[in-house]
Chain A
Amino acid sequence: MANSVRPNINIVIADDHEIFRDGIKQVFESDPNITILDMAANGMELIKMVNKHQPHIVLSDIKMPVLDGIEACKKIVESQPDTQVIGLSMFDDETSIVDMLEAGARGYLIKNADKSEIIEAIYTVYDGDPYYCKHSSFTLAKMISSSRFNPDKKKKKVEFTDREKEVITLICKQYTNKEIAEELFISPRTVEGHRQKIQEKIEVKNSIGIVIYAIKNQLYIPE
């Protein structure tokens, strides 16, 4: 993905911790396609910067002084609908993540995500797909899927084979590749193949994306 020719992606960052902003800045310096236009320390500053620069992507902390990321996100979605927001949170703040997605964010990242994951999130959301952080828990996936967040509405209906449907159900039940393989009498490699295929079909990057899609589209009904 990084090899293909890409236009420059302009981003604005918001976080109240200078050291975290500094860290993010270092991460993007290694990617020539991503330019940081500005950095805000709170939601109020962020809104002003977004209106001024009209960036492609905003990477915003959720918990901030003056105005938090959720309120800022609502305002940005309203005034700059072409700007996509990605929420940033500490790993266990599940309700805030759901609030952020309901406010209009297209994806979220956990703050201790790796460099490669942060860059992947930017590209995914830039391409118009939702981004779910790899570190997410299943509880969070269930919370997101039952929330008002609905990233799939524009997509055309996807058809799955019977085997794929079985794999999806088992993924939603938190089975590992090995466990799915044992359950369906196939090799773990084949399971991985199915998993990849499913992810391609619904344009998500990980199991969390599959779970959210499955519950939203009633392929799986949680107990």
Chain B
Amino acid sequence: MDANEAQRFTFVIITSLILGVILIYFIVSLIQHQRRNIRLNQEKVEAEILALENERKRIAADLHDELGPTLSGVKLILSSLKPSTEEDDKKLNKVSAHIDTMINLIRQISNNLMPKIIEKREIDQVLESLINEANTYYNLKIEYKFDEDIKLSPDQKLHLYRIFQEILHNTIKHSEADLLRVEMIKNNQTVILHTVDNGKGFDLNGIEKHKKGGLGLKNLQSRTELLKGKIDISSKPGKGTMMDIVIPI
């Protein structure tokens, strides 16, 4: 090997080293960029959920705390009227009854937006209230078993409530199941919400491609991520659906 050839060889080595470094740098930053995008996207979804919940809370409070007392005041003023005929008296009673209906509607709407029970009770009673409601209105038998003494923060309760609400909704609307089993288990560092139905199941891959159908599942995932938890869904056509939501406490 003469000097010239050696020089060329060194040149090639150095050039390919430089190219290699550039290429590696390029790949690494591409991966980093992608990861950042995923993270930002996730943060965006989380921020959206939090904004949504805050707005719901505000509307519920305005309805309940402002409109409610106002209607009660109107009712009291009406009740102080002294109608001169029997007919007027009847009308007055009717209007009063309508105001009562409005007050009850306001309570229902505000409770749907932000259930009061979440603030006041522990998670087992909160989920139980949803189960009782579903048991009364739908043709779905729900069996449940909850560990005692599960204590979650108000935010954790709210998100787990919404997660379970979504699962119930999916089971009732899409699964054709007549039985849903629910378990809530507490370990040292985690709470597991486990649900199984005996419905028709679905193709997980198919639903992720399907834009609108996957929205409920995306919602479940985002809520679980908000709780720093993990969700595991297994389902096959004809085999029912099983979900495990594991959240750290």
Contacts and interface: CB of A to CB of B under 8 A. Distances in A.
B80 interface: yes
Given A19-B74, A92-B111, A92-B116, A27 B69 contact: no
B76 interface: yes
Nearest to A93: B116
Contacts of A92: 107, 111, 116
Quick one: which of A90, A95, A118 has the most chain B CB within 10 A? A90
Contacts, number: 65
A23 B103 contact: no
Interface string B42-79: 00000000000000000000001110111111111101
Interface in B83-128: 99-100, 103, 107, 111, 116, 120
B76 A26 contact: yes
Contacts of A19: 69-70, 73-74, 77
Contacts of B73: 17, 19-24
Interface stretch (A36-44, A108-116, A189-197, A207-215): A108-116
Nearest to B75: A112
A27 B70 CA distance: 15
A183 interface: no
Contact count band on A:
20 to 34
5 contacts: A19-B74, A27-B79, A91-B103, A111-B68, A111-B72
A63 B120 contact: no
Which 4 A-B residue pairings sit nearest by Cβ, starting from the closest?
A23-B76, A26-B80, A19-B73, A20-B73
Interface of A: 15, 17, 19-24, 26-27, 29-30, 61, 63, 90-95, 111-112, 114-115, 118
B79 A114 contact: yes
B151 to A, nearest CB: 17
Contacts of A30: 80
Interface residues of B, number: 22
Given A92-B111, A115-B76, 16 more contacts: A15-B69, A19-B70, A20-B69, A20-B73, A22-B77, A23-B80, A26-B80, A27-B76, A27-B79, A90-B68, A92-B116, A93-B116, A112-B72, A112-B99, A112-B100, A114-B79
A27 B77 CA distance: 7
Interface of B: 64-66, 68-77, 79-80, 99-100, 103, 107, 111, 116, 120
Nearest to A23: B76
A30 B80 CA distance: 7
Contacts of B80: 23, 26-27, 29-30, 115
B196 to A, nearest CB: 29
Given A22-B77, A23-B77, A95 B120 contact: yes
A63 B68 CA distance: 12
B76 A24 contact: yes
A23 B70 CA distance: 9
A203 B111 CA distance: 35
A217 to B, nearest CB: 26
Quick one: which of A63, A111, A114 has the most chain B CB within 10 A? A111
B76 A63 contact: no
A27 B76 CA distance: 7
Contacts of A94: 120
A21 B69 CA distance: 10
B134 to A, nearest CB: 20
A91 B116 CA distance: 12
Nearest to B120: A95
A21 B74 CA distance: 10
A156 to B, nearest CB: 36
A120 to B, nearest CB: 14
Nearest to A114: B79
Nearest to B72: A111
A20 B68 CA distance: 10
